[in-house]
Amino acid sequence: MTRLKDLAIEAHGGLQRWRQFDKVSADLVQGGVLWALKGQPHTLAGTTVTVGLKGEWASHAPFGGAGRRSRFTPGRVALEADDGTVLDELLQPRASFAGHTLQTPWSELQLAYFAGCAMWTYLNMPFVLAWPGVETEELEPWQTEEGDWRRLAVRFPANIATHSAVQTLYFDGDGLLKRHDYDVEIAGNTPGAHLISDYEEVSGIKFPTRRRIFARQPDGSFSREPLVVSIDLSNIRLG
């Protein structure tokens, strides 16, 4: 049987094609209860995100108003003017979340870190599975109304900033990613079930354009209320 990691990467377009590009951008419309809970209800309601494909970085523009953008890397997050002038920055940003729970409000810089970390992970999946230090192990299948989904446990090395060190991916019979489970470490290890659908092909790479995230229960189940985060992507382009 084909290794699940290899099947998934090939189903989404293949590493050879993926490595022809340096970055991906997409227009986002985001909703859900998380943003208001964190004291940032409108900052990223409608924005464009760009993430790196050969290094871990991301930027959202506009960020909280015209003429402002974010810049995320694992060791630094900043808010910049359009000309690159640094308006504010935070070094070693992950440490600033110590003691946080799901209800703890975020500063703008903390929001920029979370959004950058999250969208970099999402838009690089499943190709990030081929990065050095990323380990995978296939788990028992998960039964759904659409048939069995194959599952992959993923362990990320410490140098990759992502939601949690261990995550679980669910793939359909064609190898397309359908669900992504993780615990949001910077929000009190809040468990999430992230549903993924509505694929579009861009330059030979398949991207899901609809994402819905719900609170996950210990047995892996979830309720569709409340909707924690919604992300709708359009105008995806590789460069």
Give the integer Cα–Cα distance in Å for 7 and 9: 6
For residue 227, the SS3 value is coil
Return the pLDDT at 171.
98
Question: d(Cα 139, Cα 10) in Å, to the nearest integer?
Answer: 20
Which residues, at least 6 apart from 27, have a Cβ–Cβ distance to it below 8 Å? Answer: 46, 47, 48, 233, 234, 235
Taking phi over 0 as left and psi of -120 to 50 as alpha, with beta for the rest, 29 belongs to beta
Rounded to 5 degrees, what are φ and ψ at 24?
A: -135, 140
The pLDDT score that the predictor gives to residue 5 is: 96
| Tens-digit pLDDT profile for residues 154-179 | 999 999 999 999 999 999 999 999 99
Q: What is the pLDDT of residues 47-101, one digit of tens each?
A: 999 999 999 999 999 999 889 999 999 999 999 999 999 999 999 999 999 999 9
The pLDDT of residue 1 is above 60:
no
Residue 178 CA to residue 176 CA, distance in Å, equals 6
What pLDDT is stored for residue 49 in this prediction?
Answer: 98
pLDDT tens track for 106-146: 999 999 999 999 999 999 999 999 999 999 999 999 999 88
CA distance 236 to 89: 28
Give pLDDT, residue 2. Answer: 64
pLDDT attached to residue 45? 85
Q: Dump pLDDT digits (tens) for 135-161.
A: 999 999 999 988 899 999 999 999 999
pLDDT tens for each residue of 7-57: 999 999 999 999 999 999 999 999 999 999 999 999 998 899 999 999 999
Fold for domain 22-238?
A: outer membrane lipoprotein receptor (LolB), chain A (2.50.20)
What are the structural domain ranges in the chain? Answer: 22-238
pLDDT at 65: 86
192, 216 Cβ separation under 8 angstroms: yes
Task: Give the residue among 9, 52, 64 at the shortest CA–CA distance from 204.
Answer: 9
